[in-house]
Chain A
Amino acid sequence: MTQPTVGPRPSVFKRIMPQLVILAVALALNVAVFPEFFHIDFRNGRLFGNLIDVLNRGAPVALLCIGMTLVIATKGIDLSVGAVMAIAGAVAAATVVDGHSWGTALLAALLAGGLCGLWNGFLVAVLRIQPIVATLVLMVAGRGIAQLVTEGKILTFDNAGLINLGAGTIAGAPTPILIWLALGALVTFGVRRTALGMLIEAIGINERSSRLAGINSRVLLVCVYLVSGLCAALAGVIVAADIKGADANNAGLWLELDAILAVVIGGNSLLGGRFSIVASLLGALIIQSINSVILLSGLPPEFNLVIKALLILGILVIQSPRIGNYIYMLRASGPQPQPDPLVRQRPEKEAAQ
């Protein structure tokens, strides 16, 4: 007992197991409705196939959920990411329309997203406004800002470099897939190879204790919102590039909710603390796979949202603590179920009264 075990690090694989299983089921459903689902073609220097589509279409939510995971780990939430996407898309479009290069446009978009993140971070970490309220400000105001940038119209562009970010390929693979994979890997390594991940978790679990242990919680909080803003900016650029235009009203609309959902399906607690970016990314893919099932099944489109809601409800119910306990009890108790000790005590106590 006293001898501490020098066990291996709690397995990452074990952590993401439920998400892998759900993803497998979602993909299997895809195959069920469309047997050719896993078929991948290489045509005109580009990979084609439904699986590639899932990975590609899932890019915006995948990017958003990277930052969202960190924000939620600190017990926060970032409702503004959809609006920040619109701002970043508008800024990128306006920059290339002004005749600048796609690189400049990307930088400008990232700068805008970064500023949005800093603003959220300032409200949350310095002014101590509740995250849901603080980010609601930008969620509402952000689309207005984006409209100001686009001057109220859909700002179209034909800059090949910028369009490549959303619709192009690198070595056959669609660029958005590479971008979210790269950013996911970068941020995961960034937080796990430094002490950032642990410090962020510490703040999310008990900010007071963390502050007393000498952690600069204010700076860390600003940082996670900054990262979230940058992720949203990248997602916004991809979405704008994909349609070759910035639509201030519709770009990223409601995507903040999909991003939060991805984090939750990834098994991360909205109460903050331990997090896994990989699991959130799997959550994003699960959402996109479900979208794909609905599309491939050929059901009338008016069923889409209802079916999606039902599937997600199912996933959340399976992951709920109640059901988890029940499964655990079924598995652990065998033929003679062990009653909860607390439950067992209660009748005795009442009898004593």
Chain B
Amino acid sequence: MTNISTSDRPVLHARGISKFFPGTIALDDVELRLMPGEVHALLGENGAGKSTLIKCLTGAYRRDAGVIMLDGTEVEPASTADSQRLGIGTVYQEVNLLPNLTVAENLFLGRQPMRGGFIARKRMNAEARAVLQDYGLEIDPAEPLTAYSVAIQQVIAIARAVEMSGKVLILDEPTASLDHDEVQLLFGVIRKLKKRGLSIVFITHFLDQVFDISDRATILRNGRVIGECVLAEVTQHDVVTMMLGRQLEARVKARDVGVAGKTLVEVEDLGKRGMIAPFSLDIREGEVVGLAGLLGSGRTETANLIFGVVPADQGKIMLRGQEIGVTNPRDAVAHRFALCPEDRKVDGIVGDLSVRDNIILALQARQGWMRPIPRAKVQEIAESYVRALDIRLASLDMPIRLLSGGNQQKALLARWLATNPDFLILDEPTRGIDVGAHAEIIALIEQLRADGMALLVASSELEELVAYSTRVIVLRDRKQVRELAGDEITPDNIINAIATEEVA
């Protein structure tokens, strides 16, 4: 969307990169230009193709088409080790160093200074100390890696990548598990490297950080490049719009959100250090509260904290005015809470169990093992939900993992509806499912609300949130930044709230 006025030749220039997976196109003719001495942000929602692109660049995946030019010559990285030798170093969110070795050993692993066939440990430690001082770290390199915080480990990983490769540094969500001060430490290092002329690709979901540290950005959506821009020339609003691809003037559907009833659940200052800042919210019967925000903004964390997946370390939850303790999902289920998780495969389905058992699982768990639900009753419940939600299956006996994503999601909804919950939390209920099932799930949400259930729905689909939410809470950087109600709820307002610079 902006013309780049860089006459320099790019350090790294990937053109026409395509990658196909069975049934999907992960990357479609993607171009990435990385200039000398710049920090280049790679932006996009989950599934946009960021990781796939990185893996193609570093040789972890074989691309199906395209050319990678490094310093003007075509390169063909066949493996991550190969790309490291070529000059492309990568640091991932999870520090992939060896925790049982010392800092110096990690730094020099595979290329230790040797003397007479033995590792010259003293020299190695001295060199490590010198290298790390360049990165502003005054630490003892003879200490084991685990003696230091994740942020410092992250810097050590960066140092290792830079020392080994030295042309291009790819940082894949390096700040995801760091707190504010640690992020600043890391950014200090990035700025130093930039001054040294290193080119850096920076991937993160935190937009503030993108604008803080990056010069330019390439925005991906659904495997295509949507735009390349100089960040100084655009607003966060532009970037969010490109990432989410919303037509801002999208028709606002006639919203019928009914009248909410009594307050059911109140959350007061619930929070967990390092996970999400304390938040408060209340949800009434017959109300859908939407949780909006970019990926990593704290939507899932909010849902998990209320459901006790991760116990909160402060704050309280009140149910109908009474304080309740929710320290694990069992407590939550006992209070008739329900949570359909975001990651169906990992947190939702029990793959090898039959659809029938999966549907009955939560109800049976609440009843306890001593009181098995009679087989006829199980059949009746399962069949009634299969009919009501139109779950497509060959047999209730088939393992649930064989169902399509949409049908798995419906079966999980059935699992929780079978427990007859008062309060239903849905985390990305429509992610990765086909259009038909999508519409049905939205209709179901509206139906449940009309029946008086209280719902908390986290979604990255703005139009969807607008369609069914009574109120929308906007999260950003793991904090609640805005609450929208009534006519304020429009995709435009949500994007504005997401993109608004933090008022310090």
A contact residues vs B (CB 8 Å cutoff): 1-2, 4-7, 9-10, 193-196, 198-199, 201-202, 205-206, 208-216, 220, 273-274, 342, 345, 349, 352-353
Residues of B within 8 A of A198 (CB): 353, 357, 360-361, 364
B3 interfacial contact with A, CB 8 Å: no
Do residues B365 and A7 form an inter-chain contact, with CB atoms below 8 A? Answer: no
The answer to the question of B36 belonging to the interface, with a C-beta cut-off of 8 Å to chain A, is no
Known: A1-B392, A1-B394. Contact between A214 and B350, CB under 8 A? no
With contacts A213-B415, A215-B361 known, is A4 near B393, CB below 8 A? yes
Report the minimal beta-carbon distance from B495 to chain A, rounded to whole angstroms.
31
Question: Could you tell me if B328 and A349 are in contact, using CB atoms closer than 8 angstroms?
Answer: no
Query: Which residue of the partner chain A has the closest CB to B330?
Result: A214
Q: CA of A101 to CA of B333 in the docked complex: distance in angstroms?
A: 48
Q: Which residues of A contact B352 (CB under 8 A)?
A: 201, 205, 273-274
Given A194-B372, A274-B352, A213-B362 contact (CB < 8 Å) = yes
B347 adjacent to chain A (CB < 8 Å)? yes
Residues on A with C-beta less than 8 A from B360 are 198
Q: List residues of chain A with CB within 8 A of the CB of B177.
A: none
Asked if B394 and A210 make an inter-chain contact with CB atoms under 8 angstroms apart, the answer reads no
CB distance from B390 to the nearest CB of A (A): 7
Give chain B nearest CB distance to A349 CB in angstroms.
Answer: 7
Residues 336-352 of chain B, each 1 if its beta carbon lies under 8 Å from chain A, else 0:
00010100001111111
Query: In the complex, which residues of chain A have a beta carbon less than 8 angstroms from the beta carbon of B6?
Result: none
Partner of A214, one of B329, B372, B386: B329
- Given A213-B365, A215-B361, decide whether A195 and B347 contact each other with a Cβ distance below 8 A: no
A sample of 22 cross-chain residue pairs with beta-carbon separation below 8 angstroms, ordered by A number, consists of: A1-B392, A2-B386, A5-B394, A194-B369, A195-B368, A195-B369, A195-B370, A199-B364, A205-B353, A206-B349, A206-B351, A209-B347, A210-B350, A210-B365, A212-B309, A212-B329, A213-B329, A214-B333, A214-B334, A215-B365, A274-B352, A353-B65
Q: How many residues of B contact A (CB 8 A)?
A: 49
Asked if A208 and B393 sit within 8 Å, CB to CB, the answer is: no
Chain A residue at minimum C-beta to C-beta distance from B394: A1
* 6 other A-B residue contacts (CB within 8 Å) besides A10-B397, A209-B349, A215-B361: A6-B379, A195-B372, A202-B350, A205-B353, A214-B330, A274-B352
Residues of B within 8 A of A212 (CB): 307, 309, 329, 339, 341, 347-348
Query: Least Cβ distance of B193 to chain A in Å?
Result: 35
Query: With a CB–CB cut-off of 8 A, which chain A residues contact B390?
Result: 2
Nearest-CB distance from B419 to chain A (Å)? 8
Nearest-neighbour CB distance to chain B for A169, whole angstroms, equals 36
**Interface 1/0 per residue, B374-394 and A, CB below 8 Å:** 010001001100100010111
A206 touches B350 (CB 8 A): yes
Chain A, residue nearest B309 (CB)? A212
CA distance A9 to B362 in the complex (A): 21
**How many Å from the CB of B29 to the closest CB on chain A?**
15
Main SS at interface, chain A: loop
Chain A residues, Cβ within 8 Å of B357: 198, 201-202
Distance in angstroms from B347 CB to nearest chain A CB is 5
Complex Cα–Cα for A199 and B339 (A): 19
Least CB distance from A221 to B in Å reads: 13
Taking a contact as CB atoms under 8 Å apart, the answer to whether A4 and B396 are in contact is yes
Minimum CB–CB distance for A344 against chain B, Å: 12
Known A-B contacts A209-B348, A209-B350, A214-B333; the reply to A4 vs B365 at CB < 8 A is no
Report whether A209 and B383 are in contact in the complex, using a CB–CB cutoff of 8 Å: no
Residue of A nearest to B415 (CB): A213
Nearest B residue to A271 via CB reads B352
Give A220's nearest chain B residue, CB to CB. Answer: B369
Complex CA–CA separation, A273 to B357 (angstroms): 13
By a CB distance below 8 angstroms, the chain B residues around A6 are 379, 383
CB distance from B182 to the nearest CB of A (A): 27
B367: CB under 8 A from chain A?
yes
Contact with A along B457-478 (1 / 0, CB 8 A): 0000000000000000000000
**With contacts A198-B357, A211-B328, A214-B329 known, is A205 near B351, CB below 8 A?**
yes
Per-position contact with A for B52-84: 1 when CB-CB < 8 Å, else 0?
Answer: 000000000000110000000000000000000
Judge whether B373 is part of the interface by a CB distance below 8 angstroms. yes
Chain A residues within an 8 Å CB radius of B321: none
For A4, the chain B residues whose CB sits under 8 A away are 382-383, 386, 393, 395-396
User: How far apart sit A10 and B352, CA to CA, in the bound complex (Å)?
Assistant: 14
Quote the shortest CB–CB distance from B422 to chain A (angstroms): 15
In the complex the two chains form, is A202's CB within 8 Å of B393's CB? no
Specify which chain B residues have a CB less than 8 angstroms from the CB of A195 in the assembled complex: 364, 367-373
Are A214 and B366 interface neighbours, CB within 8 A? yes
A342 contact set on B, CB distance < 8 A? 22
CA distance A349 to B22 in the complex (A): 11
A201 touches B353 (CB 8 A): yes
Known: A212-B339, A274-B352. A199 touches B365 (CB 8 A): yes
The chain A residue with its CB closest to the CB of B65 is A353
User: In the docked arrangement, what's the CA distance between A342 and B22, Å?
Assistant: 9
Question: Smallest Cβ distance from A196 to chain B, in angstroms?
Answer: 5
Shortest B212–chain A CB gap in Å is 35
Picked from A193, A208, A349, the residue with its CB within 8 Å of the CB of B347 is: A208
> Given A212-B339, A214-B329, are A7 and B349 also a contact pair (CB < 8 Å)?
no
Q: Which chain B residues border A216 with CB–CB below 8 Å?
A: 330, 365
Contacting residues, chain A, for B65 (C-beta < 8 A): 353
Contacts of B328 in A (CB 8 A): 211
Contacts of A220 in B (CB 8 A): 369
Q: Which A residue's beta carbon lies closest to that of B348?
A: A209
Residues of A within 8 A of B392 (CB): 1-2
B479 to chain A, nearest CB (A): 25
Residues on the A chain within 8 Å of B371, using CB: 195
What CA separation (Å) do A7 and B366 show in the bound complex? 27
Whether A199 lies near B369 (C-beta < 8 A) is: yes
State the 10 A-B residue pairs at the shortest beta-carbon distance, nearest first. A214-B333, A214-B365, A195-B372, A213-B362, A215-B365, A195-B369, A196-B369, A213-B361, A206-B350, A205-B352
Q: How far is the CB of A73 from chain B (nearest CB, A)?
A: 11
Q: Which residues of A contact B361 (CB under 8 A)?
A: 198, 202, 210, 213, 215
Write out the residue numbers on chain B whose beta carbons fall within 8 Å of the beta carbon of A206: 346, 349-351
